Structures are given as structure tokens and as C-alpha cells.
Amino acid sequence: MTETTATTAAKPILELDNVSYSYTKGGKKVLKNITHAFRTGEVHSITGPSGAGKTTMLSLISGLANPTEGKVLYNGKDLAKQDRYDYRSHDIGVIFQSFNLLPQLTVAENIMLSMDASGKKFDKPKKELAVGLLEQVHLPAEYANERILHLSGGEQQRVAIARALSYGPSVIVADEPTGNLDMGTQEDIMSIFRTLAHEQGVCVIIVTHSPEVAAASDEVFELAPLRRR
Ligand SMILES: Nc1ncnc2c1ncn2[C@@H]1O[C@H](COP(=O)(O)OP(=O)(O)OP(=O)(O)O)[C@@H](O)[C@H]1O
Ligand SMILES: [Mg+2]
């Protein structure tokens, strides 16, 4: 049992292999020759100054863009050669900096929408699963029927995490998930991510400016700013 866990924890699920990226053809490189491995069962932090390319790196990891040079490998296979829609709706859960929740819909409706989009079959009613996810992100079950626009920033952050978890992805990426939260909430969100990684074997990748979040991670990748010329 313990041995299996240790083997699983050491396996890279996502790899950046000599990746460079520029937003325009022949334009300045935002990322240059990045090689890094992300493993199942671990919380990884990506740090670096504003403009260093952290969000860009997440969009390559989450299959929203393809590298200009190099490869992103998911389970050893080049992401650019796979169905990226399938990857995005099944394998990876993304928590955006601005949450991207639908404010007029309820908490449960927001979560169920992404279950529907995954096209996955679920063994229980989706509403029941949504309520279960709320417990996992430390929100009371009554919140299921609350509209997003009535929730605080920290509560919306928790719903965004629940939504990203809704179809059981192997990788969770989050852009500044604790950006505007007080220290207690920040610690609680980090404990949710650590439980996901350590007890459910999810690979969690977090972009953060916070030294506390970085310290609570298993591994930190520091993205150095590129020298401009
Ligand atoms: N859509 C885009 N088109 C052109 N350039 C972009 C685009 N998005 C980002 N950039 C540029 O790429 C560089 C890296 O941006 P990115 O958003 O990845 O930085 P970041 O490390 O996430 O910064 P922050 O900490 O401020 O969020 C910046 O110079 C930015 O201006
Ligand atoms: Mg960013």
C-alpha cells in the first residue's frame, strides 16, 4: 500500500520539454526553454514576478495554447497531437484568476454545468454529487441553491475549486487561488489542495505570489523574468 503510494507520487503526469512560447509569430518570447515535470500526488507552485509568464505557462499546461517550440507531454504523450477539448473537459480542472462562474446561476448549477460539459457518466444524481463537493471545499450544503452573486470572494473561490473537481480530473491548475483572501482562508484553501494531492493522488499546480502558499507546496518552480531587449 505505502509502496504503491510512493511509486505513484514519483510519476510525472505532465512534462514541459524545452518549451518556448510567444504570442505572435516571430514576436518576443514570453517563455524560453522551460523544462519541468509535474507529478501526481504533489502540490506544485509556480512563482515569479508579474509578467514572468506564469499564466502563459498555465494556458500551455491546460491545453488552451500550443507551445511555439518544444512539447507539453501528458502521460508521456504530446498534448499538441491529442484532442485538446477532450483533455480540457476530462483530464484537467482549471481554476481561473477571475473564477469564470456564472453569477445568475446557483452554486449547484455552476458545478453541474461542467459535469454536463464533460459528457461523463456519473453513478449518482449530479445535484447530490455537487453537494458532496461543497463539503470537500468546506462550504455548507445549503449553499448549493445560493446564487453566485450573493457569495463572497473566498466563497466563490471554493465554488470554483468544487467545479474544477466535479468530473474527477487528474490535474488541477489554479491561477492565484488565494490572491485576495485573508490568511486563515488561504491556509484552508491550501489544506484542500494538499488533501486532494496527498489523499486522492491529484496533481495540483498553483500559480502564486504568496511565500506562504509556496512554503505549503511540495515543490516550487521559480519562473525567472526574461531579460527584455
Ligand atoms: N494575449 C496576449 N497577447 C500578447 N501578449 C500577452 C498576452 N497575454 C500575456 N502577454 C504578455 O506575456 C507576458 C507574460 O504574461 P503572463 O500573463 O503570463 O504573466 P504572469 O507571470 O502571469 O504575470 P502576473 O503575475 O501579473 O499575472 C507579459 O509580458 C504579457 O504582457
Ligand atoms: Mg498571471
**pLDDT, tens only, 141-166:** 999 999 999 999 899 999 999 999 99
Q: Which domain holds residue 168?
A: 2-219
Task: Tell how far the Cα of 161 is from the centroid of ligand 1, in angstroms.
Answer: 23
Cβ–ligand 1 distance for 31 under 6 Å, the answer: no
Do 54 and 38 contact (CB within 8 A), yes or no?
Answer: no
Residue 57 lies in a domain: yes
What is the domain count for the chain?
A: 1
**pLDDT, tens only, 10-54:** 579 999 999 999 999 888 999 999 999 999 999 999 999 999 999
Residue 181 lies in a domain: yes
Surrounding ion ligand 2 within 5 Å at CB are 54-55
Residue 61 lies in a domain: yes
Residue 227 lies in a domain: no
76 CB burial (10 A radius; 0-12, 13-18, 19+): exposed
Residue 47 lies in a domain: yes
| DSSP assignment of 209-224 | --HHHHHTSSEEEE-P
Nearest atom in ligand 1 to the alpha carbon of residue 53 is 18
**pLDDT, tens only, 176-229:** 988 878 899 899 999 999 999 999 999 999 999 999 999 999 999 999 876 654
Identity at 58, one-letter amino acid code: L
Residue 228 lies in a domain: no
* Rounded-to-integer distance, Cα 137 and Cα 98, Å: 18
> CATH number, domain at 165?
3.40.50.300
